[in-house]
Structure 1
């Protein structure tokens, strides 16, 4: 699969079993417009990109080719915003030998995986520094 928005939309549509007509109807657009999006002859508006991402439960970064990850956005983030015992989850991860082995074996990670972890660590450090100044 190439990395264009049209190929991503086509992939997601096929993955979820929609015809072009069915997806077009869900998005309140013409089937011919959907065809143009999938063939990269036309680019969806930003609002429609968000609607498509929400419908297929992927990030707009995925649609735009900034990431190949198909991890559902809601699945990753929802439990982080619900009431959650973060301390217990972190302790559980640290106590899990399989996790420690996987985490410490970062040389086999993709650049994207390394970047994500480094981003989280840097963001946490910046937040700590900000809170310490208060």
Structure 2
């Protein structure tokens, strides 16, 4: 059987690439001007394509984010409705006590805590003292008999 020849010497010699720098002075002025215009128009076209692709991508991202937000709002609404129904069921079965609603009338450090109007009697709350106010005799709810 004959021995196959190696192709190594062909690839090295046949496909060697020499880099050569092109100088603009070698081209005529009209050709240089035309090349520059073509390069500029090509770059302008490519920039428009990039801007269009980027704006399409961004609008798609915005839509995707808006859809995600709407989905999350809907999920939260569904979960809160399920929770309310579960709480109502637990209240009916007596598993959980219903929350007590308290009405706050004022703050303990206020000078008229629990009172609608000042009284003739002096009051003291915490570290403050409120002297009694003068009222004409026979008027007011705190009149002593």
TM-score range, shorter chain: under 0.3
When the two structures are superposed, what TM-score results if normalisation uses the length of structure 2?
A: 0.17
Higher helix fraction (1 or 2): 1
Q: TM-score, normalised by structure 1?
A: 0.18
